[in-house]
Amino acid sequence: TDEPLVLGIETSCDETGVGIVRGHTLLADTVASSVEEHARFGGVVPEVASRAHLEAMVPTIERAAETAGVALSDIDAIAVTSGPGLAGALLVGVASAKALAIGLGKPIYGVNHLAAHVAVDQLEHGPLPEPCLAMLVSGGHSSLLEVTDVTVGVEPMGSTIDDAAGEAFDKVARLLGLPFPGGPHIDKQARSGNSVAIDFPRGLTSRRDLERHRFDFSFSGLKTAVARWVETQQREGVTIDVADVAASFQEAVCDVLTRKAIDAATSRGIEDILIGGGVAANSRLRAMAEERATAAGIRVRVPRPGLCTDNGAMVAALGAELVARGRTPSLLDLPADSSLPI
């Protein structure tokens, strides 16, 4: 086969990810996470993450090559997340990718983390639908992006004006005494809860807000509403039904996310929505998006949960696409850019 063999490195947050793909075929997706080390702080500590990446990098690359059954010398190109993300964490990935590229004498491609979240879907569902509307929802970002050509970039239509969706899940989970990261625990609790038990606010959906923030999100008011509700119950000595709070909170988040994603797609005549980022693993979000999109005549693609969270395969997938479409590699002075524009 003449499809490019690409190794991708992702270190923008707390996952040291190394993926290897051949074209659209996933050969290895090895992730070492420092999430446990951050758990007691209730959030990712940048310095801890950088150090963990440094320790995990070489063993993770070796494990990925072993899993893929390839020799590093067979790799055609190296792709690496150059931003956005935590500065020190990105630096470890970019420096490692440069070392590999120089050592192997192969081209290096610096990629945008958000575009990589989009490109990963081709490993599961084949060629990307372009144009598509991408909704990226994770602990660090919540954005609606128009994607015309993923190798050129992604155009932001809207994003959160305060907390990211995953951050809201994590903060509410903490309020409810659930472990970090809280998203999966809320998801699980919500299954046995009543989603209409409590009517939590839907951020930026009033007619006035829609004028200025039609495709933007706000989750901090929702988080505060949950905190107040919990406090009130406690003050009145009422036992909190964690499942009901989780289900009602989750319903509010998913309602706004799916409503705005479909509105954004419809407004540009786009017929495919792609969901990525850690929160895309949420079972209610998947079901609601599917149901509402179908009603609007829109198709939805969501990669399997393991590909939605940060990983190296997504970077390799975008790298393979850059090679396949003949894009020019990055220069070896490629910077790690924490505030890389989308």
Structure tokens at 315: 């970077």
3-class SS string, 269-305: CCCEEEEECHHHHCHHHHHHHHHHHHHCCCEEECCCH
Residue 29 annotated as binding?
Answer: no
**Binding segment (CB under 5 A) for Zn ion, from list 31-39, 168-176, 179-187, 305-313:** 305-313
Shortest distance in whole angstroms from residue 242 CB to ligand KG4: 15
Using the minimum distance from each CB to ligand KG4, give the nearer residue, 122 or 309. Answer: 309
Angle at which helix 242-267 crosses helix 220-235, to 10 degrees, equals 160
Residue 6 annotated as binding?
Answer: no
Residues whose CB falls within 8 Å of the CB of residue 11, separated by 6 or more in sequence, listed in order:
17, 53, 57, 81, 85, 89, 90, 92, 93, 96
Using the minimum distance from each CB to Zn ion, give the nearer residue, 81 or 195. Answer: 81
The candidate with the shortest Cα–Cα distance to 260, out of 231, 236, 292, 221, is 292
Using the minimum distance from each CB to ligand KG4, give the nearer residue, 96 or 143. Answer: 143
One of 279, 289, 320, 322 touching ligand KG4 (CB under 6 A): 279
Structure tokens at 72: 């590093």
| 267 Cα distance to chain centroid | 24
**Binding segment (CB under 6 A) for ligand KG4, from list 64-72, 122-130, 164-172, 226-234:** 164-172
Using the minimum distance from each CB to Zn ion, give the nearer residue, 32 or 230. Answer: 32
Instruction: Please list every residue from 132 through 151 that binds ligand KG4, using CB under 6 A.
Output: 138-140
Residue 138 annotated as binding?
Answer: yes
Using the minimum distance from each CB to ligand KG4, give the nearer residue, 109 or 169. Answer: 169
**Binding segment (CB under 6 A) for ligand KG4, from list 54-62, 196-204, 212-220, 279-287:** 279-287
166 binds ligand KG4 (CB under 6 A): yes
Instruction: Please list every residue from 306 through 335 that binds ligand KG4, using CB under 6 A.
Output: 309-310
- Hey, what amino acid is at 160? T
**Is residue 131 within 8 Å of 147, Cβ to Cβ?**
yes
187 binds ligand KG4 (CB under 6 A): yes
184 binds ligand KG4 (CB under 6 A): yes
Cα dist. 313→161, 223, 233 in Å? 29, 32, 45
Dihedral sign (CA 63, 80, 275, 139): positive
121 binds Zn ion (CB under 5 A): no
310 binds Zn ion (CB under 5 A): yes
Residue 282 annotated as binding?
Answer: yes
Q: How far apart are CA 28 and CA 288, in angstroms?
A: 31
Residue 194 annotated as binding?
Answer: no
Residues whose CB falls within 8 Å of the CB of residue 59, separated by 6 or more in sequence, listed in order:
32
One of 84, 181, 303, 329 touching ligand KG4 (CB under 6 A): 181
One of 13, 68, 79, 120 touching ligand KG4 (CB under 6 A): 13
Residue 241 annotated as binding?
Answer: no
What SS3 class is residue 335? Answer: coil
Using the minimum distance from each CB to Zn ion, give the nearer residue, 60 or 138. Answer: 138
112 binds ligand KG4 (CB under 6 A): no
Residue 162 annotated as binding?
Answer: no
The candidate with the shortest Cα–Cα distance to 251, out of 194, 182, 168, 306, is 194
Cα dist. 80→48, 62, 96, 298 in Å? 20, 16, 9, 32
Q: How far apart are CA 139 and CA 171, in angstroms?
A: 10
**Binding segment (CB under 6 A) for ligand KG4, from list 47-55, 88-96, 181-189, 296-304:** 181-189
Chain contacts with Zn ion (rule: CB under 5 A) = 138, 310
Residues of this chain that interact with ligand KG4 (CB under 6 A) are: 13, 138-140, 166, 169-170, 181-184, 187, 277-279, 281-282, 309-310
